[in-house]
Amino acid sequence: MDKLLLIPGPSPVVPRVLDALAMPTVSHVSPEMSADLAAACENLKRIVFTTSGEPFVIAGAGTLSMEMALLNVAAKSDRVLVLSQGYFGDRMGQICDAFGFESELVRSPWGRAVPAATLEKKLQENTYDVVAVTHVDTSTGACAPVESYARVLKNSGRMFIVDGVCATGGIEERMDDWGVDVILTAAQKCFGAPPGLAVCVFSERALAKRKSLASVPAYYTDILRWRPIMNDPSKYFSTHGVNEIRAFAEATRMMIEEGLPARFARHKRTGRAFRAGFGALGFASFTERDCLADTLSVLRYPAGFDDKAFRMTLGQNGVVVAGGLSETAGKVFRVGHMGNLSFEQVLFAFEAVEKTLDSLGYRFEMGAGIRAAKNMLNGDVS
């Protein structure tokens, strides 16, 4: 039996995208590859609302796109400010350390986001050349006020990097309007494509910054090495993840067909449905109300609840969710709801959850989770 993957990525891959993945492996410099890569890049620009930004899609994962983003816009002497809402924001700090950049980490308590006012204050206190933030931190479910950060940073001359691994394509990110310099992301989350691709979009300003740097501490992730290939995919720099790119191109076509406003609204509705359903079953949100993400939910277990037994039995009932990371391990579980999740799959998930809770002897009103989720799915998201 195929299990419904509701972890915070990879998200389930629909048959149409899997079919694209199963197409023959063509030459990395063939016209077929060129067409798919070009389509993926064009669609990507529409997905992050840019006309002048330049996409880069290379074999790798989200962590590689974090490196790619940073290494191409930070000069050796630059100071980097990282706003961290959890595990993945902290990771950006570690990447700064690994490459010897001077950085400062501003961390919110887990389950909250760093307020834009804190960014404003930091900028008054100190000099920073690059600001990096995580849009949705997958460890805590906190969604950062990226648009407000952008307002603070606009026209300041600083490079603004947004980690959209758990957001791009599921939550609106308007690169040109907001003035974001790099959006970094990965194929396996809100795009509903299989894992294996690091995806970045660089603004014109970000490209100019890269060009101004005599060298960067990167070879494979140096965007100036990839740029000729992205402009003309018949050229070679390094072998593409051919099949992954064909699948990713198909996933982006589906996104454009759905329409971005409809896709964002569906994510919002799905997120509300999951939280309403779990709320009705007695699981409170770990994440604060003012920064809930549309792409994943982090739920607290009631006292004494057995995390391992719950997730194992739920898996046997056909649904896979993830446990908590570091300080939240055993105390919360994380449910990803991004990509191409249908309303029927949400309801199936709640049937499996209720069956699981019942078999574990948990006291709840049978059907309450399904009912609450269904109400939200049919509700208005304005």
| 3-state DSSP assignment of residue 155 | coil
Q: Which of 138, 168, 285, 295 binds ligand PMP (CB under 6 A)?
A: 138
Q: Which of 132, 161, 165, 376 binds ligand PMP (CB under 6 A)?
A: 165
* Token code pair at residue 119: 């960014």
Q: Which of 9, 170, 241, 369 binds ligand PMP (CB under 6 A)?
A: 9
Give the count of residues interacting with ligand PMP (CB under 6 A): 13
In the shown chain, the binding pattern of residues 341 to 380 toward ligand PMP, with x for contact by CB under 6 A and - for none, equals ----------------------------------------
In the shown chain, the binding pattern of residues 225 to 254 toward ligand PMP, with x for contact by CB under 6 A and - for none, equals ------------------------------
CB 67 within 8 A of CB 123: no
Q: Which residues, 33 to 92, sit near ligand PMP by CB under 6 A?
A: 61-63, 66, 88
Q: Tell me the residue nearest to ligand PMP as measured from the CB.
A: 62
CB 9 within 8 A of CB 188: yes
Instruction: Decide: is 10 part of the binding site for ligand PMP (CB under 6 A).
Output: no
| 3-state DSSP assignment of residue 297 | strand
251 vs 372 by CB, closer to ligand PMP:
251
Q: Which of 69, 70, 81, 166 binds ligand PMP (CB under 6 A)?
A: 166
* Token code pair at residue 267: 């994510």
In angstroms, rounded to a whole number, what is the distance separating the alpha carbons of residues 103 and 81?
A: 6
- Alpha carbon separation from 45 to 40, 172, 233, 239, 266 (Å, rounded): 9, 13, 17, 23, 21
* Token code pair at residue 365: 């009103």
Q: For residue 72, count CB atoms less than 10 angstroms from its CB and return exposed for 0-12, middle for 13-18, buried for 19 or more.
A: buried
Summarize as ranges the residues that interact with ligand PMP (CB under 6 A).
9, 61-63, 66, 88, 134, 137-138, 163, 165-166, 186
